Amino acid sequence: MTTVSTNPTGQNADTAAALLRVVNGGLFTFHGLFKAVVFTFAGTAGYFESIGLPGFLGYVTIVLEVLGGLALLAGYKTRIVSVVLIPVLLGAAYFGHGGNGFVFSNANGGWEYPAFWAVVMAAQALLGAGVWSLDNR
């Protein structure tokens, strides 16, 4: 009979960190491309301006989400990228969804999802890339 290790520094933790990294990378890449393709760069900048932020932050957000997502997918500089993406998520929680209430199913989405995702990214930064990553080459 095979036993599963519960050692947090063992293979299970490395595999869990990699799974978390790949999911985060895929979601960030999707969110950035969605902003770029569906809302367009100019539309995203306009939205940022409509909520009181400088429009150029819309462009910065798209670039950070796409490049950060791709870096996470590859496992490249995972800890740094994870920390860099936390302010993007906190900004989304506060500026983009803060006035919509807590629950993300509220009209225009509440701040629950981006706040939770910011905590997930902090966990990713603490865990690192896990297995199958450029960080571990």
Confirm whether 90 is domain-assigned.
yes
Confirm whether 20 is domain-assigned.
yes
Confirm whether 111 is domain-assigned.
yes
What does the pLDDT read at residue 103? 92
Q: For the segment 4-23, what is each residue's pLDDT rounded down to a tens digit?
A: 445 555 678 999 999 999 99
Q: For the segment 43-61, what is each residue's pLDDT rounded down to a tens digit?
A: 999 999 999 999 999 999 9
Confirm whether 98 is domain-assigned.
yes
What does the pLDDT read at residue 11? 76
Distance CA 43, CA 102 (A): 25
Confidence of residue 105 (pLDDT cuts 50, 70, 90): confident
- 47 burial level (CB within 10 Å; 0-12, 13-18, 19+): middle
What does the pLDDT read at residue 2? 52
Q: The domain containing residue 123 runs over which residues?
A: 13-131
Distance CA 108, CA 102 (A): 11
Which sign, positive or negative, has the C-alpha torsion 123, 125, 130, 132? positive
| % of the chain beyond a pLDDT of 90 | 84
Confirm whether 2 is domain-assigned.
no
Confirm whether 57 is domain-assigned.
yes
Confirm whether 5 is domain-assigned.
no
Confirm whether 112 is domain-assigned.
yes
As for how many domains the chain has, the answer is 1
**In a 3-state reduction of DSSP, which class is residue 32?**
helix
